[in-house]
A and B are shown apart, each in its own frame.
Chain A
Amino acid sequence: MRHLLSTRDLDRAAAIRLLDIAEDMADTQLREVKKLPTLRGKTVVNLFFEDSTRTRISFEAAAKRLSADVINFSAKGSSVSKGESLKDTAQTLQAIGADAVVIRHGASGAPRTLANSGWIDAGVLNAGDGTHEHPTQALLDAFTIRRRLRPGASRGAGLDGVKVTIVGDILHSRVARSNVWLLDTLGAEVTLVAPPTLLPVDLAAWPARILYDLDVAIDEGRPDVVMMLRIQTERMRDAFFPNPREYSRRWGLDDERLARLGPDSIVMHPGPMNRGLEISSRAADSAMSTVREQVSNGVSVRMAALYLLLSGNTEEGS
């Protein structure tokens, strides 16, 4: 694998391979000695133009567990604030000798630009670009679902027939986009639930069913997985719903809706959560919730992604 930019680039075999390697990585994280020598001598740069807590920490932990050297770069406090372009930043990284660049950027497509520009030789890993994609989040979500639904027997399996309902701010969500493509590739049935104002204009090409009513989705869809998305106020420059209370009442996962889910359903949230807005505290902390599992699985999945990007000779195709 040369780059990881979008879950659309992954076919079913490649996705399952990555998830299986993540299982092996997860096994090593149960040991007393968690560090592996695998990527010794490789340099991973975390290039973060947007704020992030868990993704940056997760990538840093993943790279360090594999013995890679990690350089953290955040746009704040760097020469970007002096007007340095992406190209010049990239060439600086090239000169330092980066083997992989983990990039988060506010502009959709920035990682692909970096990967295809010829500015650097390093592998590029998309850690979230604008409202486009966040592939490792989708992979860790798929990993979490697979582990929960098939405890101890998840290796090699897809998510065939699993009913996943994604609720909330689909319009601004790169997590939703990456998940829709990956879940479809793995055989899951995806339903999107959101107020019409928070859905993209043209959904015809998306392999997903669209609903506007969360109660209908829960009562008639009987979802195995309910994935709540964060309301991204920082990207909202319009009024998308009258007020938070109304949103919460109609599209939030409150205690009453939580009780109507099947006992084996799981509740997911990519974090950070707005408790009381899209998800109630009881739902976030219930036994059905995988919020914390998602974070620890994130390290294993990112270890697998870094391993696939950085091991193997470069002549290998795709």
Chain B
Amino acid sequence: MSARTVLHQADIARALTRISHEILESNRGADDLVILGIPTRGVLLAERVAGLVSQISGQDIPFGALDVTLYRDDLGRHPTRNPQPSRIPAGGVDGKTVVLVDDVLFSGRTIRAALDALGDYGRPRVVRLAALIDRGHRELPIRPDFVGKNLPSALDERINVRLTELDGDEYVSIEGADA
């Protein structure tokens, strides 16, 4: 199998730290920030980013999970997906700066669904998007505000994100279709 590791654990940590600084910079501080991860691995990344932003800013940043399963436009094209619980922080999202966090940004359809889901919880002042990996091939006019790594890829390649909490080890690899 021709899997090539593109980010090691330390690279992931550095990328998340940089993203956390960039979030604080673009928001001019930590006021009204809410960090929401998209299940499954986006939630783990959101928790880490919220921890880092809290640590850097000295303010407690609320974070949660935003499940998009019930908002997807491709439910009829795949086996039935199980929804995951959404957890919206007690303060809600109205008037907040919401940063959506996902592991891999690809077609943009997940983010489209996330924006619809978010709208049903309230009206954020601003919504930003952070992705650990941007692999290109967008099918919708969506772009990330904060990127861990741009990873140009062929459509038939696979990007694997593995995180310690869920997978036991931690890296990002790219896998060729010819493997």
Contact = CB atoms under 8 A, between A and B. Distances in A.
Contact of A20 (B80, B81, B82): B82
Interface of A: 1, 17, 20-21, 23-25, 27-28, 31, 33, 35-38, 66, 155, 307-308, 311-313, 316
A35 B83 CA distance: 15
B80 A27 contact: no
B153 interface: no
A135 to B, nearest CB: 18
Contact of B76 (A1, A28, A311): A311
Contact of B80 (A28, A37, A308): A308
B79 A21 contact: no
Interface string B82-113: 11111000000000000000000000000000
Contact of A21 (B75, B82, B116): B82
B171 interface: no
A24 B119 CA distance: 17
Nearest to B80: A312
A164 B2 CA distance: 55
A23 B75 CA distance: 19
B80 A316 contact: yes
Contacts, number: 54
A200 to B, nearest CB: 35
B76 A38 contact: no
Contact of A27 (B71, B78, B82, B86): B86
Given A23-B85, A33-B120, A155-B85, A312 B75 contact: yes
B47 interface: no
B28 interface: no
B67 interface: yes
Contact of A311 (B75, B116, B119): B75
5 contacts: A24-B83, A33-B119, A36-B70, A36-B71, A312-B76
B75 A38 contact: yes
B70 A313 contact: no
B85 A313 contact: no
Contacts of A307: 70, 80, 83
Given A28-B70, A33-B120, A38-B70, A312 B79 contact: yes
Given A31-B120, A311-B76, A38 B71 contact: yes
A311 B120 contact: no
A269 B28 CA distance: 57
Given A37-B116, A66-B70, 16 more contacts: A21-B82, A21-B83, A24-B83, A24-B84, A24-B86, A25-B83, A33-B120, A36-B70, A37-B70, A307-B83, A311-B75, A311-B80, A312-B79, A313-B76, A313-B78, A316-B80
B114 to A, nearest CB: 13
